[in-house]
Amino acid sequence: MPKLLRSVRILLALLPITFAAPAPAPAPSPIVSAAPHPMITPRASLADRTTSKLEDRDILSSLEGLGGFLTSAIGSFPDYVASGVPNFFQDFPTGTAVQKSLGISDNELAATPTQVLNIPAYANWTDQGWNLRFRGNVYKQPNISESKLDQLADIFLVGTSIKDLPPPQQSQARNLTAEIFVVQQGNVNVSFNIEPAAKQGSDGTGTGSNAVTPGGGSQNITLVGQTTVEGDFDQFVPLANISGPGGYLLPGNGTQKLQRLNVYANGTDTGNATSFLVPEEGLTIISDIDDILRVTRIYQPADGLLNSFAKAFTPWMNMPEIYANWSQSIPDFHFHYLTTTPEQVTRNYMDFIYKTYPGGSFDTRPLNFSDVSATLSIRKFLLTKIFQTYPKRKFVLMADTSNSDVMKDYPGMATDFPGQVKCIFLRNTSATDSGDKFPYNTSGFKGLDNSTYMFFTVPDDLKGLDIVNGQCVNTTIKQNITFSEQGLPFGLSKKSAAGRVRSKLRVVALVGWSTLVYAMIL
Ligand SMILES: *[C@@H]1O[C@H](CO)[C@@H](O)[C@H](O)[C@H]1NC(C)=O
Ligand SMILES: *[C@@H]1O[C@H](CO)[C@@H](O)[C@H](O)[C@H]1NC(C)=O
Ligand SMILES: *[C@@H]1O[C@H](CO)[C@@H](O)[C@H](O)[C@H]1NC(C)=O
Ligand SMILES: *[C@@H]1O[C@H](CO)[C@@H](O)[C@H](O)[C@H]1NC(C)=O
Ligand SMILES: *[C@@H]1O[C@H](CO)[C@@H](O)[C@H](O)[C@H]1NC(C)=O
Ligand SMILES: *[C@@H]1O[C@H](CO)[C@@H](O)[C@H](O)[C@H]1NC(C)=O
Ligand SMILES: *[C@@H]1O[C@H](CO)[C@@H](O)[C@H](O)[C@H]1NC(C)=O
Ligand SMILES: *[C@@H]1O[C@H](CO)[C@@H](O)[C@H](O)[C@H]1NC(C)=O
Ligand SMILES: *[C@@H]1O[C@H](CO)[C@@H](O)[C@H](O)[C@H]1NC(C)=O
Ligand SMILES: *[C@@H]1O[C@H](CO)[C@@H](O)[C@H](O)[C@H]1NC(C)=O
Ligand SMILES: *[C@@H]1O[C@H](CO)[C@@H](O)[C@H](O)[C@H]1NC(C)=O
Ligand SMILES: *[C@@H]1O[C@H](CO)[C@@H](O)[C@H](O)[C@H]1NC(C)=O
């Protein structure tokens, strides 16, 4: 056990940079296999998890003599990684495994209330009317003693212990740990009560979501089928055009206005969300969160861990001002927050976003995405889904350069969905944070019209751009794009050096959140 714990610590040290790691060669697509279904849209069914294979066994040999910045962060690699990554990812723990590891009896668990994570979603307009996505997870929160929680939280905190943290950080660490140790409820029915919404939650900064309250639309919806083994649900269901005191739902082709609906999960008060009816045409911003809307420093392992698990979420510079301004000045701008952070911590991300940024819909990583290839292609899956939902809308894409999947998938959207990507904005974290030693690869942008994307360093660089009319570039910001790997530390630029760094990162990429939880309950 102690050895294992140590290994886990090492794995955890790798965790934050997972997101920064380059993706390996394209793997078979894990995307939806659309089952025929008498609904407007087939319900999303994530493909079965495939056997995970180590993508690049040979990369492990390049780990020998790992000098430099990575080793200082991660120490030595655990034996079982060095001998080939085991099949962590296909045995993702189910709720029962978490339950067993915590020694909680069925009776105890049965006595705890069922909760629903209801992720604020979007609806599209179809021949049959509005088609609303329902997406989330059903789970129970076991009653874990504080001492046990502290013990579990300590596993997340490399180089420190919960005892050594100031009280607010202690409670944040306990909160996150508790969120990860939930027992998901598979095979349950889920239903919702829908009502017009006057606002979204507290409506954050007061800029709110620039949406309107529909006159009607109150109804009860029962999802088709039951939750997956992991407790997830994700499907589109048509809404009826029910009249209310203020009239009806507005059709999605006669208006550009967003309409807000409250979606309450039946039987619990934990599953409240505000979803959006988003018209056929208009402008949507798809925004990542870590290191663009909040300070995470995912590329600095120890710091990234503390920022992710203990410290209160902090906005990055004056980004809230930029978003508030866009929300006010761009008519009917739809905000969609898309992060590959695991579903279990969605509540914390939502809580921060809705207090700090304009209201909007949300996407996080569903639990099914736990094998290697799927973990690395989740962003593409989520992006493709929203683009397919709105074939006539235009999109603004926002993130930072420390995500290798972003560097491929954002320009990829411009190629896959011609004419739909209006602007791509990327914060260059390497240029402004000497702590970011990871290279980033701009080759995905080769061939794209350079008036449609901009790399920037501070939020002010985005000020005054007329996005609606396609002004994506602030000409005062020097771009420095080489269409290759750039931003290597210590002035390294040789191909071999780049190759070595990439190899190291690729190993890191194999070790994700799913491993983390899996390893913890072993
Ligand atoms: C709006 O959509 C509905 C349903 O698809 C269709 O019947 C109607 O003709 C459309 N109206 C316009 C103005 O396109
Ligand atoms: C959780 O367990 C503690 C004892 O470990 C008990 O005092 C407390 O009442 C329990 N809480 C709930 C909500 O069951
Ligand atoms: C779930 O719904 C199905 C019908 O879709 C029904 O047969 C079953 O009894 C329901 N289960 C529960 C526990 O309500
Ligand atoms: C939805 O169901 C609840 C009971 O679960 C009921 O109180 C409410 O009136 C129903 N709403 C509609 C619009 O049918
Ligand atoms: C709902 O019905 C009303 C009255 O027939 C109509 O004016 C409105 O366009 C309809 N809205 C939708 C979303 O179908
Ligand atoms: C909502 O849940 C209650 C019990 O909590 C149940 O009686 C009711 O039928 C449910 N409503 C729907 C629409 O499933
Ligand atoms: C969810 O909404 C219901 C109905 O408005 C409310 O009673 C409940 O307090 C809300 N739950 C939370 C956690 O805000
Ligand atoms: C953790 O905090 C979030 C808000 O940041 C809250 O929504 C959630 O209920 C908390 N979870 C637990 C298990 O206390
Ligand atoms: C609505 O969204 C669904 C789900 O993404 C998609 O399959 C469908 O084509 C969309 N419908 C229209 C009319 O865009
Ligand atoms: C965009 O590309 C054109 C040539 O196609 C070049 O002249 C111009 O300098 C480029 N702009 C930027 C900002 O790199
Ligand atoms: C481009 O390079 C210059 C000089 O190193 C630097 O000041 C600037 O911030 C870089 N621009 C971006 C967008 O990274
Ligand atoms: C461009 O960037 C500079 C420097 O951050 C900023 O002062 C300016 O407002 C930005 N916008 C435009 C349109 O120049």
SS in 3 state form for 429-454? Answer: HHHHCCCCCCCEECHHHCCCCCCCEE
For a substitution probing ligand 6, which of 115, 226, 266, 269 has the most ligand atoms within 8 Å of its CB?
266
Mapped onto helix, strand or coil, the DSSP state of residue 32 is coil
pLDDT at 373: 55
Q: Taking 70 as the threshold, does the pLDDT of residue 43 lie above it?
A: no
pLDDT digits (tens, 9 = 90+) for 214-270: 999 999 999 999 999 889 999 999 999 999 999 999 999 989 999 999 999 999 999
pLDDT at 375: 59
Ligand 8 centre distance from Cα of residue 179 (Å):
7
Of all protein residues, the one whose alpha carbon is nearest to atom 10 of ligand 6 is: 266
| Residue that wins the pLDDT comparison between 403 and 301 | 403
Q: Taking 80 as the threshold, does the pLDDT of residue 14 lie above it?
A: no
Distance CA 298, CA 279 (A): 35
Candidate from 25-39, 104-118, 177-191, 447-461 with smallest mean pLDDT:
25-39
Distance CA 522, CA 520 (A): 6
pLDDT at 369: 64
pLDDT at 309: 80
For 171: left if phi > 0, alpha if psi spans -120 to 50, otherwise beta; the answer is alpha
SS in 3 state form for 160-211? Answer: CCHHHCCHHHHHHHHHHHHHHCCEECCCCCCEEEEEECCCCCCCCCCCCCCE
Measured from the Cβ of residue 373, the count of other Cβ atoms closer than 10 Å reads: 22
Give residue 302's pLDDT band: very low, low, confident or very high (50, 70, 90): low
pLDDT at 337: 97
Stretch 61-79: mean pLDDT: 29
Query: Which amino acid makes up residue 252?
Result: G
Query: Mean pLDDT for the chain?
Result: 76
pLDDT at 101: 76
Q: How far is CA 436 from the centre of its chain?
A: 21
Measured from the Cβ of residue 109, the count of other Cβ atoms closer than 10 Å reads: 18
pLDDT digits (tens, 9 = 90+) for 260-301: 999 999 999 999 999 999 999 999 999 999 999 999 876 666
Candidate from 171-180, 194-203, 231-240, 268-277 with smallest mean pLDDT:
194-203
Find which of 101-105, 289-293, 510-514 is predicted with most confidence, using mean pLDDT.
Answer: 289-293
CB under 8 Å to 225, separation ≥6 — which residues? 43, 235
Distance CA 111, CA 127 (A): 45
Q: Which two tokens stand for residue 162?
A: 């919960």
Angle between helix 513-521 and helix 2-18 axes, rounded to 10 deg: 170
Q: Taking 70 as the threshold, does the pLDDT of residue 486 lie above it?
A: yes
pLDDT at 456: 97
pLDDT at 151: 87
Cβ–ligand 11 contact at 478 (below 6 Å): yes
Of all protein residues, the one whose alpha carbon is nearest to atom 7 of ligand 8 is: 347
Stretch 44-55: mean pLDDT: 27
pLDDT at 103: 84
Of all protein residues, the one whose alpha carbon is nearest to atom 4 of ligand 12 is: 461
pLDDT at 299: 67
Phi and psi of 99, rounded to 5°? -60, -50
Q: Taking 60 as the threshold, does the pLDDT of residue 90 lie above it?
A: no
Of all protein residues, the one whose alpha carbon is nearest to atom 10 of ligand 7 is: 269
Nearest to 384 by CA among 355, 358, 416: 416
**Which ligand has its closest atom nearest to the C-alpha of 271?**
7
Residues contacting ligand 12 via CB (< 6 Å): 458, 460-461, 463-465, 474, 476-477
Stretch 420-427: mean pLDDT: 98
Stretch 157-164: mean pLDDT: 84
Residues contacting ligand 7 via CB (< 6 Å): 264, 269, 272
| Residue that wins the pLDDT comparison between 96 and 18 | 96
pLDDT digits (tens, 9 = 90+) for 343-399: 888 999 999 999 999 999 999 988 876 554 565 688 999 999 999 999 999 999 999
Distance CA 507, CA 30 (A): 21
Mapped onto helix, strand or coil, the DSSP state of residue 485 is strand
| Residue that wins the pLDDT comparison between 112 and 38 | 112
Q: Which two tokens stand for residue 303?
A: 């710091």
Nearest to 338 by CA among 268, 404, 406, 428: 406
Of all protein residues, the one whose alpha carbon is nearest to atom 5 of ligand 12 is: 461
Q: Which two tokens stand for residue 246?
A: 């203020």
Please classify residue 266 by burial: count the beta carbons closer than 10 Å to its beta carbon, then call 0-12 exposed, 13-18 middle and 19+ buried: middle
Stretch 443-462: mean pLDDT: 97
Q: Taking 50 as the threshold, does the pLDDT of residue 8 lie above it?
A: no
Residues contacting ligand 6 via CB (< 6 Å): 191, 220, 222, 266-267
Q: Taking 60 as the threshold, does the pLDDT of residue 67 lie above it?
A: no
Residue with tokens 């491929």: 408
Angle between helix 2-18 and helix 146-156 axes, rounded to 10 deg: 60
Give residue 150's pLDDT band: very low, low, confident or very high (50, 70, 90): very high
CB under 8 Å to 171, separation ≥6 — which residues? none
Q: Are residues 465 and 513 in contact, defined by beta-carbon separation less than 8 angstroms?
A: no
Query: Which amino acid makes up residue 465?
Result: L
What is the maximal distance between C-alpha atoms in the chain?
A: 71
Measured from the Cβ of residue 20, the count of other Cβ atoms closer than 10 Å reads: 25
Q: Are residues 195 and 166 in contact, defined by beta-carbon separation less than 8 angstroms?
A: no
Ligand 6 atom closest to Cα of 267?
5
pLDDT at 344: 85
Distance CA 168, CA 244 (A): 45
CB under 8 Å to 9, separation ≥6 — which residues? 155, 158
Distance CA 216, CA 240 (A): 10
Q: Is the dihedral of CA 173, 176, 180, 185 positive or negative?
A: positive
CB under 8 Å to 26, separation ≥6 — which residues? none
Cβ–ligand 9 contact at 381 (below 6 Å): no
Q: Which two tokens stand for residue 300?
A: 């600095």
Mapped onto helix, strand or coil, the DSSP state of residue 47 is coil
pLDDT at 129: 97
Q: How far is CA 82 from the centre of its chain?
A: 29
pTM value? 0.83
Residue with tokens 């994506």: 472
